Structure 1
Amino acid sequence: MTTATAIVAGHGLALRRSLPLPNPPGRPTTVSLSARSLPHARRRTIVPVSPSPRRPCRCRSISSESSTAASAASDTVEEDAEPAETYDEDEDEELDPQAEVCYLDPDADPEAIREWELDFCSRPILDARGKKVWELVVCDATLSLQFTRYFPNNAINSVTLRDALASVPEALGVPLPDRVRFFRSQMQTIITRACGELGLKAVPSRRCVSLLLWLDERYEAVYSRHPGFQAGTRPLLALDNPFPTTLPENLVGDKWAFVQLPFSAVREEVESLERRYAFGAGLDLDLLGFELDDSTLVPGVAVESSRAKPLAAWMNGLEICAMEVDTGRGSLILSAGVSTRYIYSGYEKTPAATQEAEAWEAAKKACGGLHFLAIQENLNSDGCVGFWLLLDLPPPPV
């Protein structure tokens, strides 16, 4: 018999219930829920910083009053949700949808940009031959670097991509990065080969948050206004969503808990990530436009393990991007890389357990998809060995 914490969305209340949670089939390790919430450091007020007006791309804004979840993308373009960001009409009129982007924030340190995010895929645009146009899109996590280039569909190969990537340093005066993240599994061979020839490490990962949001913005501001735009065109290379598989034994913890932290504490955890934790990953909350109240409770999952450091090290190599509850199967699902999904744990589908799982998902939705994963030596401890800030995002419309 274990204890679970139910989160009541919209009120930030925690109700404690005792729930029998059986081990997943074939799992010798006990996985349970705990009523303990993650401890956190003192609150500190942080004023969100607006993106520079010189920056072509603006990400969405999420507020406590009107937070919405990142819903699953629909089959057709017409059914896509209305974008959260707003546009200045004068700026939109100046945009040339056929122009390519080559931009570096003058305030950025070129030598500090050591990681790029990349997409290389077709767009819902036809060229003069009636064929789909392809586009390379490159940025960094802060959107200080932005680069795009169009290609005909008969020039798509690793050599084309390699040469295009090699031209970015020359065009923008920046060095080649150490790592390049990409989120389309279907392009892994081409991207890995092109990056390998340039001495870059290609990392398959859906933690390309800035890139995904920029693509969403470009769809509205650029692609849909291109003279060759084809409304209703489905993405050529849709994101994979495979059936979840069994979690490897080395990733199994001793206990796990639905927990919550005030937004102010989450920000502090992210800011102190490099100082306090050996493992984990954050998100640029200012760039993403999160404007939640400091007291807004952000849901998460805490994992207790007697071998917390090795567990955190293994988890750190997974490129964790999201956690979700599958109430139909009574499972907690961990998504990582570009197409990896694990059944992190199962639970008995009682009405009470289902209600708590649904409440956790509702709390995540109320925070615009923001949630976290923490690994601790003990759920009563004052710190974390690993902390990952996660964000549910819909697949890009292209």
Structure 2
Amino acid sequence: MSRVNSREVRKVVEEIIDESEVKPSTIRFFRGAMFNMINIALSEIDVIAKPSRCTFALANWIEERNRNVYPKMDGYRATMSGIGGIGGTFLDIRTAVKLPDALRGEKYAFVGLPLAEFLEGGGVKEDNIGVGRLCPVDKSLPADSFVQGVVILTPRAKALASWLAGTEVAGLKADLRKRELVMETDIDNQYLMAKLNDDQRKEAAIFEEGKDALGGLHFISVQKDEDDDPAGFWLLREIPENL
């Protein structure tokens, strides 16, 4: 751990860049506690450091090592594996604030789509998701399962979708205790999307169970009405908090 400093980080990054066929323009990181160190390390390198909760490849790599590498190392203790993870090291996640009135949806619906729709040959593709984005899908997940999501219906669908495209949507969370549907964006922003009544709270519980069953996979669709194509569609993966 004594070697984890800005000088060593810069050295490792420079070595990776030198070995890369295409030089990266942006380097993302998810641990807020590393913010100052990484900024200092990259200050003399021509790349942008961006805090992000959408570091999917990095999360997959850490999860694989947590399963197959670290348990075989001398001194490994399973009780230490969750310390210093995402939940405790993000830049102070604040209480959810309301979206501006001009961007709020009139209706919200919890829905599900077959996972097969997001796999090769499925109906959801880059050319029909508006200004949205699709995260990578683990092909080992059962194709007959359903991905849970939320459809936001609003006559201002283009405006809301464009606003979301200008930020980085990290995911949706249903807080069953507070009865709130919260959208998380960038590294530390939370927006209150809706208050949940009794029926919606039951649907939100199914939504959260579905996320857990598929490793955090879920989606958001912003549409003008139920029959309209999405102005923006985001397939998202909630990264585990114990990385």
Once residues 357 and 332 of structure 1 are traced to their aligned partners in structure 2, the CA distance between those partners, rounded to angstroms, is 8
| SS at structure 1 position matched to 2:226 | coil
2:225 is the counterpart of 1:378: yes
RMSD: 2.5
Aligned to 1:175: 22
Shift of 1:230: 4.8
Once residues 284 and 239 of structure 1 are traced to their aligned partners in structure 2, the CA distance between those partners, rounded to angstroms, is 20
Aligned to 2:157: 308
Deviations along 1:26-85, one digit per CA (max 9) or x if unpaired, are xxxxxxxxxxxxxxxxxxxxxxxxxxxxxxxxxxxxxxxxxxxxxxxxxxxxxxxxxxxx
Once residues 214 and 281 of structure 1 are traced to their aligned partners in structure 2, the CA distance between those partners, rounded to angstroms, is 21
Q: 1:234 to 1:298 in 2, by over 3 A?
A: closer
Candidates 235, 244, 266, aligned match of 2:95:
244
Comparing 324-333 with 256-265, greater Cα deviation is found at 256-265
Once residues 248 and 354 of structure 1 are traced to their aligned partners in structure 2, the CA distance between those partners, rounded to angstroms, is 20
| SS at structure 1 position matched to 2:87 | coil
Q: 1:356 to 1:219 in 2, by over 3 A?
A: closer
Shift of 1:258: 1.1
Unaligned runs of 5+ in 2: none
Candidates 343, 346, 361, aligned match of 2:195:
346
Higher relative contact order (CA 8 A, sep 6+): 1
Shift of 1:183: 0.8
Aligned to 1:10: none
Aligned to 2:10: 162
Once residues 146 and 56 of structure 2 are traced to their aligned partners in structure 1, the CA distance between those partners, rounded to angstroms, is 22
2:38 is the counterpart of 1:187: no
Within-5 A mapping of 1:7-22: none
Shift of 1:199: 2.1
Q: Which has the larger radius of gyration?
A: 1
Once residues 136 and 87 of structure 2 are traced to their aligned partners in structure 1, the CA distance between those partners, rounded to angstroms, is 25
| SS at structure 2 position matched to 1:301 | strand
Under a length normalisation based on structure 2, what TM-score does the superposition of the two structures give? Answer: 0.83
| SS at structure 2 position matched to 1:290 | coil
Candidates 63, 80, 93, aligned match of 1:216:
63
Once residues 231 and 207 of structure 2 are traced to their aligned partners in structure 1, the CA distance between those partners, rounded to angstroms, is 23
* Greater helix proportion: 2
Candidates 188, 198, 203, aligned match of 2:45:
198
Once residues 300 and 229 of structure 1 are traced to their aligned partners in structure 2, the CA distance between those partners, rounded to angstroms, is 37
The total of aligned residue pairs comes to 236
Once residues 356 and 212 of structure 1 are traced to their aligned partners in structure 2, the CA distance between those partners, rounded to angstroms, is 28
Q: 1:197 to 1:386 in 2, by over 3 A?
A: farther
Deviations along 1:302-358, one digit per CA (max 9) or x if unpaired, are 11232222311221233222212112111102122233322221133x3x3332222
Query: 1:280, 1:388 within 8 Å by CA — same for their partners in 2?
Result: yes
Under a length normalisation based on structure 1, what TM-score does the superposition of the two structures give? Answer: 0.53
Q: 1:301 to 1:175 in 2, by over 3 A?
A: same
Shift of 1:300: 0.7
Unaligned runs of 5+ in 1: 1-132, 134-152
Aligned to 1:320: 169
Shift of 1:234: 5.5
Query: 1:302, 1:375 within 8 Å by CA — same for their partners in 2?
Result: yes
Candidates 106, 113, 117, aligned match of 1:265:
117
Query: 2:26, 2:49 within 8 Å by CA — same for their partners in 1?
Result: yes
